[in-house]
Amino acid sequence: MPIYNIFSKKRKSKTKPKQIPTIVADIHEKNSLVLSELQSSKQINLQIKPLKIADYLIGNTAIERKTTSDFISSMINRRLFQQLKQMQKYKEKLLIIEGDLDLLNNETNLNSNSIRGFIISIINNHQIPIIQTQDYEDTAQYLITLAKQQLKPKTPISFHSRIPKTIKEQKQYIIESFPNIGPKKAELLLKKFKTINNIINASEEELSEVLKNQSKNFKEIIDSKI
């Protein structure tokens, strides 16, 4: 009869499997060196499929990649405007310009201000941020970094650098939420009026002993019905 060693059983790992972000690349990018860089990376999961819009999709972000020569040619024939218009269907958008525009500008008859104006037009009129990368390796690293950031949970913005624990800290936290009220003034108000209710019901004249010329604005905020 076989004897089993009960101590030989491996404990089940409680750690969650590591998530790997996905980058979707357009099939037309298959000959680019960027794609070969992404394929060799173990940090992301790469999918290649026909995309109607953009060259890459990362989550809800559409990314159009242009080499400097392609950027200039699409600027001249205005093809890029149509592509940028299509990208508006996505909430998040990004244009990557790969290479040195200054070097290319020396080889063309284009005015430098024309290129700058075109870039500013993209940012202002189409609300699309632009990243200029050095080469295909740099582009791939930007894409990988963006994909990894998609996995991070988004936390709400806090206007306070600390979380109050005691009642005293919570009271000061509330008073500091008013405009132009820092820790020192909040502490003085609580020292003088003891409670938040007393501060709210205090007259402008009484508040001016601590807030000086800011007492009127403070009182207007409290009494406002908006």
What's the Cα-to-Cα distance from 150 to each of 68, 97, 183, 220, rounded to whole Å?
27, 22, 36, 43
> pLDDT tens digits for 161-210?
556 678 888 888 888 888 888 888 889 999 999 999 999 899 989 999 99
- Alpha-carbon gap, residue 45 to 59, rounded angstroms: 12
Residues whose CB is less than 8 angstroms from the CB of residue 94 and which lie 6 or more positions away in sequence, other chains included: 61, 62, 63, 64, 128, 129, 130, 131, 146
Structural tokens at position 24? 């979707």
Residue 67: is its pLDDT beyond 70?
A: yes
- Average pLDDT of the chain, as a whole number: 84
pTM of the model: 0.60
Rounded Cα distance, 115 and 176, in Å: 47
Angle, CA 150 vertex, CA 144 and CA 152 arms, to 5°: 115
Quote the CA–CA distance of 64 and 87 in Å, as a whole number.
9
Amino acid 174: pLDDT? 85
CB contact at 8 A, 87 and 56: no
Domains and CATH numbers, the chain: 22-150 (3.40.50.10130), 167-221 (1.10.150.20)
Within its chain, how far is the Cα of 30 from the centroid?
28
